[in-house]
Amino acid sequence: MTILSGKVAIVTGASSGIGRAIAERLAEDGALVVVNYHHSEDKARQVVAGIQAKGGKAVAVQADMSQVAAARRLITDTAAQFGRLDILVNNAGKFLPKPFLDTTEADFDALMNLHAKGPYFAMQEAARVLKDQGRIVNISTAGTQLHYYGASAYLGSRGALEQFTQEIAQELAPRGITVNTVSPGFTDTGVLTEQYREMGITQSPFKRIGLPGDIAEVVAFLVTEQARWLTGQTIQAGGGIVM
């Protein structure tokens, strides 16, 4: 029996990149994984097929995690269909660096809805159905500590999620539910520009950028019983770019 056998996990934004690696890793450990996607249905179904080909269990479910009603529905439908929810990984996100003076209200709202508002209410809904000793992991960015130029709204939205982690962790602790943030550094998800790739290589003492699997391993530990004494933490998973 694998370590997550019998457990049900939701990974948002799991059709590619870090989310895909997390979904595959949790399935490898025995969880039934809900592979959430927004637009990329074909990619999500490829993730599911890959998991099933290895003997794992997964389903693809569409939901726009920037919309509160959709975020809530993803949680309630999962619990209703599978009879339980044990793990929620809020991974859905979009990297949108933009100078302060060029950021529009629409830009601001889109980032806050996707990285802060949607996950907040997904966690609220999850708290109502999560089994005791459940796990919530939020994916942020090391950029909230690096403070690089030209991304105030993006970093602000990610920083809000980190703050939510700390406060919600306190409220859910009496049930043994842990809430943590994992903050990747520069990671090879296929969308990094050459500028950011070089920045990541230069700043890490390992002299490379991260791989999605590097992040997935950290998340895989946090959702286990062995991580029961970790909560309210922002864990830097950026190869040492933040120390």
Give the pLDDT confidence of 36-80 residue by residue, as tens digits.
Answer: 999 999 999 999 999 999 999 999 999 999 999 999 999 999 999
Range of 61's domain? 8-237
Q: Is 134 a member of any domain? A: yes
Q: Is 2 a member of any domain? A: no
Can 154 be counted among the known catalytic residues? yes
Looking at 112-202, which runs of residues are DSSP E strands? 130-139, 178-184
Q: Is 178 a member of any domain? A: yes
Are 209 and 239 in contact, with CB atoms under 8 Å apart? yes
Biggest CA-to-CA distance, the chain:
54
Q: Give the type of residue at 243.
A: M
What pLDDT shows up at residue 1?
63
Q: What is the CATH number of the domain that holds 31?
A: 3.40.50.720
Q: Is 242 a member of any domain? A: no
Q: Is 3 a member of any domain? A: no
The span from the CA of 152 to the CA of 31, in Å, is 37
Q: Is 223 a member of any domain? A: yes
pLDDT tens track for 181-220: 999 999 999 888 898 899 999 999 999 999 999 999 999 9
Are 209 and 193 in contact, with CB atoms under 8 Å apart? no
Q: Is 68 a member of any domain? A: yes
CB atoms within 10 A of CB 1: 6
The span from the CA of 22 to the CA of 12, in Å, is 10
- Position of tokens 């950029």? 143
Q: Is 44 a member of any domain? A: yes
In order of 16, 36, 131, 140, the CA distances from 204 in angstroms are 24, 31, 38, 18
Catalytic residue among 120, 148, 154, 196: 154
Are 97 and 149 in contact, with CB atoms under 8 Å apart? no
pLDDT tens track for 151-183: 999 999 999 999 999 999 999 999 999 999 999
Contacts of 185 (CB under 8 A, 6+ apart): 141, 142, 200, 203, 204, 209, 210, 236, 237, 238, 239, 241, 242
